[in-house]
Amino acid sequence: MASEGVARGPGRLGVVHVHSGWSHDGKDTLEALHDLSRGRGIRFVGLTDHAEDFTEARFREYQAACQKASSEHVQLIAGLEYRFAGLKGLHLLALGMAAWMNPATPAEFIAEARRVARFTIAAHPILYRHELPEVVEQGIDAIEIWNASYNTRWLPDPRAIELLKRVQAKRPEVTGIAGLDQHDAKNDRETRVLLLKADESLDPLAELKAGRYVNLGRTMELGASEAMSPTALGMLHLVRWGFDGVERTQDKLTRLLRGDPR
């Protein structure tokens, strides 16, 4: 599980769950994302801008803009993050969208994404009590077991890994993926996906869908369908608990020093 950091070869390095300035809360132009990614050795970016910021016409402009900002060095792949009325925190990512879709429910998302998207992810299960609606469990391609924004850059989410195990018991092809949930590329939280095959002609999303990748982060490397032992999971729970405690204490201290007594 140990790794020497995020730079590792061979294979092809990418990132997923990235917001650009096309999202209301995203900072980066597609061009800036391209250039920063190139500097970091990232070959493809799985964009997931907020669907609620789009119409069909704007999505078409976005697709064209992604294509225009891509180069032989970095591929910017158009995709969207969907939320659903009455289901706060349940966000589903559709990567590599060939056409616009506007699903109102998770069931519609799963059905439409099958036609339109090349890879789907259930984002940050921590915001949804680590449970997924049955229809999502039956149709999703991957679960975000490490969201570098909500789970920090340091460690994956043990409860999301347990959720993945439950889903894999019925659908072994479902994988666990590390997403950045990045809104500002200056703050690189350093989770990456590494395609196992370096072959340039291969479609990165097809490789992800086939599970031919590993997740890389600052502290650890995690296979796409790595069956973490109960012991390793127990450790992760424990370390997470202590680590989150340290973060909470730091937050409290920072607020105290700022004179903000929340």
| Residues forming the site for Zn ion (CB under 5 A) | 81, 91, 123, 181
Least distance between Zn ion and beta carbon 4 (Å): 28
d(CA 73, CA 144): 26
Least distance between Zn ion and beta carbon 251 (Å): 21
In the complex with Zn ion, which residue's Cβ is closer, 66 or 228? 66
Name residues whose C-beta falls within 8 Å of residue 244's C-beta, 6 or more positions apart in sequence.
none
In the complex with Zn ion, which residue's Cβ is closer, 11 or 62? 62
In the complex with Zn ion, which residue's Cβ is closer, 104 or 198? 104
Taken in order 255, 259, 261, 262, the sign of the CA dihedral is negative
In the complex with Zn ion, which residue's Cβ is closer, 11 or 79? 79
The residue nearest Zn ion at its CB is: 91
In the complex with Zn ion, which residue's Cβ is closer, 95 or 123? 123
Query: What tokens were used for 145?
Result: 């077991």
Least distance between Zn ion and beta carbon 177 (Å): 13
Partner residues linked to 100 by β-bridges:
none
d(CA 23, CA 162): 31
The backbone torsions φ and ψ at residue 81, rounded to the nearest 5 degrees and listed phi first, read: -110, 125
Burial of 144 (0-12, 13-18, 19+ CB in 10 A): buried
